[in-house]
Amino acid sequence: MSLLIFLAIIAAIVLWAIGIYNRLVNERNRVRNAFAQIDVQLTRRHDLIPNLVEAVKGYMKHERETLEAVIKARNVAVSALEAAKADPSSAAAIQQLGESEGALGSILGRLFALSEAYPDLKANTNMLQFQEELTTTENKVAFSRQAFNDSVMSYNNTVENFPNNFIAGAFRFETASFLEIESEEKREVPEVSFT
């Protein structure tokens, strides 16, 4: 009788561990799925940028340095996206992606600010269309990033909660990082004047 109780306890522990392991796998796969949505939007953004630069080139001949910086930042962001796509739960890859996308966003902001000095460019339908598409894509990136970060939080909670952390440690489930895309403009404190 005591052998049956002992076997029942062992079976319960094994089933409990299998349940935790399966939950960890499910949560990690949710993170990967959420990242796939970000990948779609960022790839679209990256694909729009060369067309935008081509549309701007004819008007902004004196701004070659800025145009080259946009292409360089885009290429860095594409490389970071590829690295993050390989392992969306890699903290280093996600951090690099966030930094490169922030830099790309900043340089694009500078490009759009410079384009204000060119009235013909501002009125160009291609330029207006690219600006609209990039704005729409930026909004979709923001929504996808929020869904990704929600998935990361759920996954990290599952990895770190007791007693899951024992199973997570044994099978090398590591916490994932949130994707934060910050632009320099968002960090600046706006000046307020009451004159």
Percent of the chain with pLDDT over 70: 93
- Give the Cα-Cα-Cα angle 156, 157, 161 (nearest 5 degrees): 120
Q: For 142-147, which contacts have Cβ atoms below 8 Å and span 24 or more sequence positions?
A: 144/34, 144/37, 144/38, 144/40, 144/41, 145/38, 145/179, 145/181, 147/34, 147/37
* 28: in domain: yes
- pLDDT class of 39 with cuts at 50, 70, 90: very high
pLDDT of residue 183: 58
- Domain assignment of residue 117, given as a range: 9-178
> Structure tokens of 98?
């966030």
User: Residue 3 falls within a domain, yes or no?
Assistant: no
Q: Place 190 in a pLDDT band, splitting at 50, 70 and 90.
A: very low
Higher pLDDT, 103 or 131: 103
190 in a structural domain: no
Residue 102 has pLDDT above 60, yes or no: yes
pLDDT at 6 over 60: yes
Residue, of 182 and 42, whose pLDDT is higher: 42
Whether 92 is covered by a domain: the verdict is: yes
Q: Look at residue 183 and tell me if it is in a domain.
A: no
State how far the Cα of 178 lies from the Cα of 91, in Å rounded to an integer: 8
**Residue 54 dihedral angles phi and psi, to the nearest 5°:** -65, -40
- 159: exposed, middle or buried (C-beta count within 10 Å: 0-12, 13-18, 19+)? buried
Residue 187 pLDDT exceeds 50: no
Within-domain flag for 187: no
**Which residue in this structure is represented by tokens 């890859």?**
93
Residue 186 within a domain: no
Tell me: the pLDDT tens digits for 40-97?
999 999 999 998 888 888 777 777 888 889 999 999 999 999 999 998 988 899 999 9
**CATH number, domain with residue 68:** 1.20.1440.20
Cα torsion angle, 76, 108, 47, 124, sign: negative
Count of domains observed in the chain: 1
The model's pTM = 0.81
Percent of the chain clearing pLDDT 90 (strictly above): 63
Q: How confident is the model at residue 191 (pLDDT cuts 50, 70, 90)?
A: low
In a domain, 188, yes or no: no
pLDDT at 128 over 50: yes
